[in-house]
Amino acid sequence: MLRRCCPPLVEDAVHVWHQRTDRLDQDPAFVDAFHKLLSPGEQTRLAQIRRPSDRFVYLLSRAMMRTVLAQYVDSACENLAFGANDFGKPILTPSERPAVHFNLTHSRGAIALAVSATCEVGIDIEDRHRAVEFRALADRFFSEPEACYLRGLEGERLRDAFFAIWTLKEAFVKGIGRGLSFPLDAFCFDLDVHRLIAFRPLADYVATDWRFRQFELDDQHSGALAIRGRHAEEVCVQFYEWDAHFGTDATTGEGERS
Ligand SMILES: CC(C)(COP(=O)(O)OP(=O)(O)OC[C@H]1O[C@@H](n2cnc3c(N)ncnc32)[C@H](O)[C@@H]1OP(=O)(O)O)[C@@H](O)C(=O)NCCC(=O)NCCS
């Protein structure tokens, strides 16, 4: 029996549901239960994923999307049908469902899902500890002012600033639904080390009505949210931990974060 455990999604709020996938037990009972929630298409995609750890993350992310979104739109998890925009951004179909915007992200060891009733959203999380050629990637993908800023940083400051720009950029291109088909050097984030100061479109086709939030999920994963809306500035962002008992057991509420 499903129990209602999503807090009310009021206007101008964003809820971020998240979980450490590397800390969840691969309990066969849950794996089996989650498997049954998947559509035939999702089951096919699951079967095509070779690495067991990637398969588990895919299964968990679908289970999280279905159990959480079903509560917001007041439907059964297995009845939710997903489509995608022209660039692959998942959306709920049919369109007459209560309007819920959402976006999913996963990075080594964690998944997160942003949901809003009124604002379009994009979310990205990254594992800050992963080894990356910061300057080479920045020179290749970031805008010139961002790459130039990073050239002046070393060590931890370079790492923090790089992942801040990366997650902000990805959150934006995911928010607008274009993914990496959108040129990453057409817009720029100005930082104070890793804290956002300003978002600057560098081309006239870049939307200007987006606002951003940065957050730390845990000691390993940091992320960014892109939020579109008239009142995006005042949006209240709340974080909740999803677990395998979600919908049938108590849910850990956490509330607001930095
Ligand atoms: C959408 C995209 C941006 C995904 O980025 P990512 O960092 O690999 O992955 P994330 O975990 O944050 O997001 C993946 C999820 O976003 C969603 N998504 C897919 N296409 C999307 C789009 N066009 N817009 C928004 N969201 C999208 C899906 O739910 C996807 O989950 P799934 O793969 O389990 O179906 C993609 O275009 C991509 O390929 N990114 C590669 C990252 C990279 O190389 N960055 C360069 C340095 S800046």
Question: How high is the pLDDT of residue 256?
Answer: 56
Q: How far away, in angstroms, is 86 Cα from ligand 1 center? A: 14
If asked whether residues 42 and 69 sit together in one domain, one would say yes
Question: How high is the pLDDT of residue 25?
Answer: 75
Cβ proximity of 239 and 255 under 8 Å? yes
Q: How far away, in angstroms, is 84 Cα from ligand 1 center? A: 13
Question: How high is the pLDDT of residue 97?
Answer: 64
What span, in angstroms and rounded, lies between the C-alpha atoms of 186 and 143? 7
Q: How far away, in angstroms, is 62 Cα from ligand 1 center? A: 15
What span, in angstroms and rounded, lies between the C-alpha atoms of 162 and 138? 8
Residue pointed to by tokens 């962002």: 237
What span, in angstroms and rounded, lies between the C-alpha atoms of 65 and 152? 40
Asked if residue 46 is part of any domain, the answer here is yes
Q: How far away, in angstroms, is 90 Cα from ligand 1 center? A: 10
Helix axes 155-175, 144-151, angle to 10 degrees: 160
Question: How high is the pLDDT of residue 22?
Answer: 86
Asked if residue 4 is part of any domain, the answer here is no
| Bridge partners of residue 14, in order along the sequence | 116, 237
Q: How far away, in angstroms, is 225 Cα from ligand 1 center? A: 14
pLDDT string in tens for the chain (258-residue length): 345 578 888 888 999 999 999 887 778 888 888 999 999 999 999 999 999 989 999 999 999 999 999 999 988 888 899 999 999 999 998 765 667 999 999 998 999 999 999 899 999 999 999 999 999 999 999 999 999 999 999 999 999 999 999 999 999 999 999 999 999 999 999 999 899 999 999 999 999 999 999 999 999 999 999 999 777 778 999 999 998 777 654 444 456 554
Q: Whose CA is nearest to atom 38 of ligand 1?
A: 180
Question: How high is the pLDDT of residue 185?
Answer: 97
Question: How high is the pLDDT of residue 95?
Answer: 61
Altogether, the residues listed in the chain come to a count of 258
CATH number, residue 32:
3.90.470.20
What span, in angstroms and rounded, lies between the C-alpha atoms of 96 and 41? 22
If asked whether residues 21 and 80 sit together in one domain, one would say yes
Ligand 1 probe mutation, 169, 174, 225, most atoms within 8 A of CB: 174
Asked if residue 7 is part of any domain, the answer here is no
Ligand 1 probe mutation, 21, 53, 62, 104, most atoms within 8 A of CB: 104
Phi then psi for residue 51, to 5 deg, are -75, 130
Asked if residue 6 is part of any domain, the answer here is no
Work out which ligand 1 atom sits closest to the CA atom of 88: 20
Those residues whose C-beta lies under 8 Å from the C-beta of residue 149, and which sit 6 or more positions away, are 161, 190, 191
Distance between first and last Cα of the chain: 35
Asked if residue 75 is part of any domain, the answer here is yes
Expressed as residue numbers, the domain containing 162 is: 128-216
Provide residues with CB under 6 Å of ligand 1.
58, 61, 87-90, 103-106, 124, 137, 141, 166, 169-170, 173-174, 177-180, 184
Q: Domain tally for the chain?
A: 2
Work out which ligand 1 atom sits closest to the CA atom of 106: 11
Asked if residue 8 is part of any domain, the answer here is no
> What's this model's pTM, rounded to 2 decimal places?
0.92
110-116/120-127 β-pairing: unpaired
Cβ proximity of 178 and 188 under 8 Å? no
If asked whether residues 64 and 132 sit together in one domain, one would say no
Q: How far away, in angstroms, is 93 Cα from ligand 1 center? A: 20
